[in-house]
Structure formats: structure tokens, C-alpha cells
Structure 1
Amino acid sequence: MKKENLLFALILLAFFGCQSKPSNELSLIIKFDGADPEKEYSIRLTSNYMVESSTKFKFGEGKTEHKVMVPLDAPKMFTLSGDFYKTFYGEPGQELVVQVDKEGDEFSYSYEGSGAHAMQALEEFASLEEEFEEQAAELDYGVYSMPWEEFSAGIDRVREQKEKVLLEADGVSQNFEQVMKADIWVDYVNQISSFQSYYNYRIKKEEDPEFESEILDSRYEKAFAFGTEALGSMSFSSMITGYVTKDASDLATEEVPWYSIPENWVTLYERTKEDSSVPTAFKEVMLGNYVSQLLMSLGVDGAWEIKEEFMNDYPESGETDIIKSLYASWEPLKQGKPAPDFTYSSIDNELVSLSDFKGKVVYIDVWATWCGPCIAEFPSMKKLKERLKDADDVVWLYVSIDDADVKEKWEKDVEKYEIQEGVNLFGGEGWETSITDLYKINGIPRYLLIDKDGMIHNAQAQRPSSGDLIYNEIQKLRGVSLEETLSMK
């Protein structure tokens, strides 16, 4: 080899040998002077309702700073929970330094590093939303109690202000800009969808002729126009739910809300599948996402039929592998599988386990003191218990996933909402309470039905408000025939 060629080869080797491989991690540094050294913090990345990764840590005695390498294969959102709960945006190879400050019960955040600009933009977004919400702080349903004209003007203003913030933001990546342009519109559509949901409830009491469903349809068309950019939106899954269920109220009965009837979820899938207003490429992802979400509504057994239909309709879909993995992760929660055991402290400060009730039917209500929909179900639960007041082979088990610092409030709420007749357990670790992982709980209220052999009957059981549906299901597990059940009504 000629001397000059050898020299050139050595230069190339030195150059490329010093090049580091592209990082698949985000360097996250948390600084918090008020950190509890024994408090466990958790970083979670989720996708299509699957936990991609979960990292737990403690600051430790005398430490106010902690560094975590967060695995990221693409720009993503992730959450950090502990003393506070916060959502972050990050990209592979970035560094994000977060300074947490606490004054009273309020937390504030400031940022440094290459990921700081995106987080600063998100903080401005949050401030704009809070300013709008403060205008309706005294109304029963917040901004959703506003007349349509006032609400519409408000969300239009917030959307335009967000677009201005994004346009003027310095130092943010092109990835962030593309995702957020779509996200602003998707979130805007979600707001209108939420208004419609509350409107459908309020219309029973008052008229607001200014709002028509066609308004929402036109906004969805705008969101769809973003194409694949909308798919990367942080609010995409919520928009899917809103779109697929926007006309679901016509499936309800006077006695039972539409979502308590499993067949209605199938009907909504078929409607969306035939909906010509949804772009073809978009529809595939929309239906795939909906199939993933069905696990939260129907459980693995109830959603299985629609999952199979989607995989037959779209065998080459990029959603298929995600759905397969997601459903496989729920396999342990299928009917007839052993119910994962858990142990928590009761309201009488005794340790109580699910396995203590083997030989009885156990209806589990997973709730929290801050959860409005959970509390709204308590009157229906009271009626259900009254119908089964002589059933000494049924256990009503309430599991709170509140944080440890609200135990006193929990004790008062048990009495306030008249649920002390059941067995009340306190998890005390918020969303890190073990039952949330054991039973794939990503939202509450959540109900579980366990048979007398300690096996799962339904890991996504009907709500108390479903009336006869849950009553008949419990009676069946007790060994009471349908004829006997009907004669008891």
C-alpha cells in the first residue's frame, strides 16, 4: 500500500472510529431541592396503551439531583410521577434538565439543555389553556357549561395563540414542529368533541340551539387533512375515541348507557369501517387504534372478535404487530385465568388480600377520591348491593389508588359516599399501586369480577350503572339460574 493511501486510511479510521453511534436515549436530569429521599419516582413510556418501558428511582438521602437515561427510539412523550405528575417531550440524543420548585401545594418547572425549547413551548400551551379554563372556574362543568358561541370563540383564540407560540419558538426541532402543528388541531377537535358530550347531557335541562353536530364534523375534516402528521399527535388516541363514539348516544336505552352494552362497540367499529368521510390510509390506523382501545372498554375476551375482524381486514397493517403484542400482554387476564393476588391495608388498618375471599364472588371497584366518574357510580353501586343484600357469598371490594398523603380524606370519603358496608382497601401509591399493573388499569373507574374459585370472570366488568347487566352476571356466578334471577326482580 502506498504511503499516502495508508495515511488516508488511518485518517478515515480515526474519524469514523471517533464517531459515536446515534443515541437511542434521552438524558433526563431532575433537580428538586424538596425531594423526599424515600419517595419512589416512576418514568413511563406508553404506546397504544402498552407500557413500552418503566424506570423507577429514588433520590436517596441528602440528594437533590438524579439522572436517568430514558430509552427513546423516536420523538415521544413520557410521564414522570412521584411527588408530582408531569408529561415531558423528548427526542433521542437530547439532554433535558428539569428544575422542580414547590411552593405550598403548587409545583413549577424550568428547563435547560437541548430539549428545553420544546418543553418551554408546551408550558406556554398549558398556560393558555389554564387562562381559558379560569374563565369558567365557577361553572358546573367548567368551560363546557359555556354557551356554544362563547366556548367556540375561546377555543379558537387558544388555538390561534398556540400556533403563534409554535411559529415564534426558537430552537425546537422540525419533528416537534410537525407533530405540534397537527396536535394543536387534534386537541382543538377533542375540545369540541368534549363540548358535544356535555351538551348531550345538558340538553336534557336547557336548550342551546347554536350548537349543531355538523360543526364538529367540519373540524374533524380539518384534522384529517393533516394526514400522517396527525397520527403523531399526542392527542390522537383521544380524537379517535371522540370520532368513533360521537354518534353513540343513539345506541343508549333509558335504563342503560350505550357503553355498557358490548354489542354497541362492535356497531361503532362497523360504522367507522363504512364511513366514507375518513381517508382510506387514515382509517386503517384509526380502526387499529380503536381495536387497541377496546381492551380498556371490553377486556380481552369482549374485544377478541373485533380484533380478529381487523386483522382479517388489514393483514398487512403496521398496526397488526402492535395489536398482537398488546393482546398478548392481556392474555393473563382472560376469563378462567387465576386472578392476580394483591394485599393492602383496610380501613381498619388490617392487611387484606384478594385471596382471602376465595369461595365467594368478588366484585372489585378500583377508584380514587379525585375521580368524579368513580364517585358518580356509587349511587348505582348502592342500588346493586341492595338488590343482593341477602347474598352472603358476594364481596364488595373497593380499592383506592390514591396517594399516601390523602389517606385521611379517603377515610372520610368512605363514610361520605356510604361505601363502608363493603371491604375498603387503600393502595397509597397512586398510579404505581400494584393493582394497576396486575390488571392493566390505565383509567378509572375500573371493575373486576372474580369467581368463587379465585379465577377471573371479567377483568373489564360492567359498571354498577349497567343495572341488570352486572346484576345478572353476578347472579350467574353465584349459581342462580336466569329464571330465578328474573323472578327476583
Structure 2
Amino acid sequence: MRYPGYLSLFFIGIIFQLIGCGQKKDNLVRISFNYPKAAGDTVLIARTNMVSLDSIGMGRVVLDSAGKGIVEFTLDAPVFAGISAGQLAAGLLVSPGDEISIVPSRPGSKHMLGFEGDGAVVQEFLNEAVRFRQGMERWKGNLAIRLDKEEFLNARDSLEKGYDQLLAKLKSNPNISGEIRDLLTRQIKMSVLFYQYNYAIGRDSIDIPVSVWEATSEMPVDSIALKTGIFDFALIGSFYYQHKISNGIYGENEEMDGDSLDLIFPFLVEEKIKSSKYPKVIEEFLRAKSADYQISMYGLTPSVIKLANTLEREIASNDFRKVIREDIARWEKLGPGKPAPDFAGTTPDGKKISLSGLHGKVVYVDIWATWCGPCVEEFPNSKKVQADFKGNDQVAFLYVSVDRDTLAWKKMVASGKVPNGIHIINSSDSPNSVWNLYYVWGVPRYLLIDAQGRMVATHADRPSSGKVSKELRKLLTRDQLAQK
């Protein structure tokens, strides 16, 4: 379920500024704001973690009543960054010594911001590029990702042609070096490639144009895109891992049962990545991406912990190792015996119910949504588990919907298709939502919490596993013995 997040980041991350400056002695970067419409806003300058896609803060400032403020930070090398605030959204490629001014756009301009100082011309170019790219999300009134093969090729070719025309305008500009034009060309190339990835993902090969299939069948090898933080390259890496490597392994091992495959899955991934013979930095990037994804999806399983320990020894990049360490630290806070983070939701009849309000009961939490087929398929088995504890008030079955459509949720709960239990809806947008507190990537997801409000499992067994009733009885017996 990170995918929607990727799209929202894409529209911010694609707006990059590339700067054609010579070598500078000072490594201080100074970004000044003079933007009255953003008065009082907190402005964040951040770069993207290429493995996790999270933001890494570089500096921030609260603009004064006139919309003025300055952010300063040091850099050892150029890096792509983004500007975000209530009224502002843009991107930069900042280099050591840069001085950049953010001002209102000129009258009649179609862009939100204007730029002065280092790289202003290139930033204006990229504003135009992103506006053009956003326009290409639709082709002749239809979403590009829903076009048939021939029409998508027409759309892609038009995207490339438009980019080429924009690039051509910069060739005669003496303030833009060949190095910067090269970086700009790489960024444009990755934008076109991601456009194709976004179309190809989830389609059968027969429904994908041959040229698109060929373009998306391999991970692009571009260490400069990785080093400078071209955001589309990070997105492509995520898509490639999930759909080519991870899904590929599941497809190659369909004959194995799920539990057996899960035990060796991290090591099959390692083997698949290493066998591709990528340059070292790209191999490490994919290995770290794999660990980040697996920890986020499955928590700290024994096989994932073993993988993380291996990568700690073998990966040279401290930035990549740091991502894995941070992933582990987050999940350790949800380890067995740790206090279960509290969350609350609203019942169909408008009552507020919180997890902490069920203290004293063993709680089996089912996180689901009306649009989730696998969630609904588990409900008959959920009813069977509930039947095993009929009349036992020491067990609570809490069903937490992450639906945005409250009406659809209420209708399904009232339909009788769902188990009885306790039903609440909990928006995934809140920082204190079950989605964010328990690092949920997708549904269904199940939690098991003991009567003292402590974590037992962040990835509890599904009702269809046949193991849930046994686990609940074990916890009840443990509590009874503890009370004696």
C-alpha cells in the first residue's frame, strides 16, 4: 500500500533544479524566501532516501509575516532536494556554495514559484517540464495507464518529443554546462522510463507493447542517478523489486506452500539480485531495498533478521545500512511484550472505542477494508474462530476498517457478511491511526494483543490458517496461570 504514497511523492520529486556552476570553495548552501503568500508557513528542505522513499530533512524555516526566511545547510556534493510548505512545492538540485532565492512567479506565468540566483534558468525549465509531464497523465481525455497498447505508444512518444523540445531550448544557454545538461538528460530519461513502468506494472506481457516490455524488464544501471537522488530512479527501483524480483520469486516457486517459501524467501531474493551481476552500488541498492520492503511488510521474522545481519556485514554504504537499522528499531518497539500503541475509532452508530478500552481482554485485531477481496474472503473463517469462543468475554474480536468511504463500510457491516465482533473505522491519514502506528502496508493485517495490553504478534496468523484459536487459548491459559 505504499504505491499511492509513491505517486504523491512523484509529483513533488520530479520538479528538480540542476545548476550549471563551476567548482565552489564554500560548502554552505543558502536558500532565501521572499514569498508573501506563504507568510507564517514552515518550509522544509528535504532530500529523498533512495531506499525507503522517506524524506531526510536538510533544513527548515518558519517564514515571517512578510513571507521571508532563510535556510542554510552544508553539502559536500550536489544532491536533489525538495521544498515543501503549505503554499510551496518545488524541487532543487543544490550544490555546495549555491545561493538560491524563491520569489513569486512573474505575472502571467503558469508556475507557482519564481527563482533567482543559482540555477534559476534550469529551475524554470523544470517547472515547465513537470507541467508538461502532469499533462501527459491523460492522453486524449483518458488516463495514460488505461490506454491500449497503440495509444500508449503514441502518448509515450509525445512525452519524449516534448521533453526533447524543452531540452533543445537549453543548448544555446552559455550558463548551463555540459555536465548539467547530462544530468538533466538523465532525469528526463528516468521520467520517461517511470512513465512506462507505471503503465506496465500489473499487466500481462501480452498487453504491453514490445518496446515498453523491453524497457521495463531490467533495472536501469545508473549510479549517477542513484548518487544524485533522481527520484524517478528510486521509484523504478521500488517497482522493479516488488514486481520483477519479489513477484518473480513467488511465480517461480508456486509449488511451495506459503509458510515454507516465507522461510527461505529473503535468501532467494539475495540469490536473484546477486546473479544479475549489477555494478556493486546498484546491487547494494537493491539488496537494501529488499530488506527495507521485507521488514516493512513482514516485521522482524527470524529469516528477515538473519538477512539484516548479513547486509550489515556486507553492504558498504552507510546510508543503506542506516535505513535497515532504522527499520529494525521501529519494529523492535512493537516487539512481543512491548506496550501496544493505542488507537481509537468510531462504530457504525457513532460511538468511540479505543484499543485501551479493551484492557483486560485478549484482543485479536483484524485490519481490513471493503474493497479488499482477501480481507472479505477471510470472514467465513473469522466467524468460525469466533464460534470457538462463544460466551467467553475474555476475548475481543476488533475489526478495524481503513476505508475512506464510510457509507460503504456501514453498509457492509449491516449486511451480515462480516463477523459480529467490534467494528470501528479508523482513518489512515491520522498519525495515530492503526495504519501508521503499526506500519501497515496492506490489508488484511492481523494483530494479537494480550490482556495486559502488550504485543504478542504484529503479523498474527490469518483466520484461515487454523492456528488462531490455539493461540488465543494459549494466551487465556497464560493469563489464568498468572492470576493464581
Q: TM-score, normalised by structure 1?
A: 0.66
Q: Counterpart of 2:409? A: 414
Q: Partner letter of residue 272 of structure 1? A: I
Check conservation: 1:89, 1:118, Cα contact below 8 A: no
Check conservation: 2:144, 2:152, Cα contact below 8 A: yes
1:95 to 92, 95, 100: 100
Deviation, 1:316, is 3.5
Deviation, 1:22, is 3.6
Q: Counterpart of 2:274? A: 273
CA spacing shift, 1:59–1:315, aligned 2, 3 Å: closer
Residue-pair matches, total: 415
Q: Counterpart of 2:299? A: 299
Deviation, 1:271, is 0.7
Q: Counterpart of 1:332? A: 332
Check conservation: 2:291, 2:308, Cα contact below 8 A: yes
Q: Counterpart of 1:128? A: 132
Moved more, 412-421 or 231-240: 412-421
Aligned equivalents of 2:311, 2:318: Cα separation in 1: 12
Aligned equivalents of 2:401, 2:91: Cα separation in 1: 32
Q: Partner letter of residue 279 of structure 2? A: P
CA spacing shift, 1:295–1:119, aligned 2, 3 Å: farther
Q: Counterpart of 1:251? A: 250
2:238 to 241, 264, 274: 241
Aligned equivalents of 2:469, 2:211: Cα separation in 1: 43
Q: Counterpart of 1:287? A: 287
What are the Cα deviations for residues 65-122 of structure 1, in whole angstroms up to 9, with x where unaligned? 364637564523336365x784533526443426599xxxxx9622233365454333
Q: Counterpart of 1:77? A: 81
What are the Cα deviations for residues 326-353 of structure 1, in whole angstroms up to 9, with x where unaligned? 2354253453152453445625665543
2:223 to 224, 227, 237: 227
Q: Counterpart of 1:216? A: 215
Deviation, 1:385, is 3.1
Check conservation: 1:179, 1:233, Cα contact below 8 A: no
CA spacing shift, 1:339–1:316, aligned 2, 3 Å: same
Q: Partner letter of residue 400 of structure 2? A: L
Check conservation: 1:178, 1:229, Cα contact below 8 A: no
Check conservation: 1:26, 1:94, Cα contact below 8 A: yes
1:363 to 362, 365, 389: 365
Aligned equivalents of 2:408, 2:345: Cα separation in 1: 16
Q: Secondary structure of the equivalent of 2:28?
A: coil
User: Cα RMSD over matched residues?
Assistant: 4.7
1:65 to 55, 62, 67: 67
Residues 299-448 of structure 1 aligned to structure 2 (within 5 Å): 299-301=299-301, 303-312=304-313, 314-319=314-319, 321-323=321-323, 325-336=325-336, 338-339=338-339, 341-344=341-344, 346=346, 351-358=352-359, 359-363=361-365, 365=367, 376-377=371-372, 379-389=373-383, 391=386, 393-399=396-402, 410-415=405-410, 418=413, 423-427=423-427, 430=429, 438-439=437-438, 447=445
Aligned equivalents of 2:263, 2:140: Cα separation in 1: 36
Q: Counterpart of 2:196? A: 192
CA spacing shift, 1:149–1:440, aligned 2, 3 Å: same
Deviation, 1:160, is 4.1
Check conservation: 2:46, 2:56, Cα contact below 8 A: yes
Aligned equivalents of 1:29, 1:440: Cα separation in 2: 38
Residues 127-206 of structure 1 aligned to structure 2 (within 5 Å): 127-135=131-139, 137-138=141-142, 142-169=143-170, 177-200=181-204
Check conservation: 1:100, 1:108, Cα contact below 8 A: yes
Is 1:455 the counterpart of 2:454 in the alignment? yes
Deviation, 1:395, is 0.9
Structure of higher RCO (CA pairs closer than 8 Å, 6+ residues apart): 2
In structure 2, runs of 5+ residues without a counterpart are: 1-23, 387-394, 476-484
Deviation, 1:254, is 10
Q: Secondary structure of the equivalent of 2:203?
A: helix
Q: Secondary structure of the equivalent of 1:32?
A: helix
Check conservation: 2:308, 2:324, Cα contact below 8 A: no
CA spacing shift, 1:383–1:435, aligned 2, 3 Å: closer
CA spacing shift, 1:118–1:213, aligned 2, 3 Å: closer
Is 1:478 the counterpart of 2:472 in the alignment? yes
Deviation, 1:227, is 3.5
Aligned equivalents of 2:346, 2:55: Cα separation in 1: 29
Q: Counterpart of 2:5? A: none
- Indicate the percent of aligned positions where both proteins have the same amino acid: 11
Aligned equivalents of 1:414, 1:32: Cα separation in 2: 40
Q: Secondary structure of the equivalent of 1:330?
A: helix
Aligned equivalents of 1:136, 1:176: Cα separation in 2: 33
Aligned equivalents of 2:317, 2:400: Cα separation in 1: 41
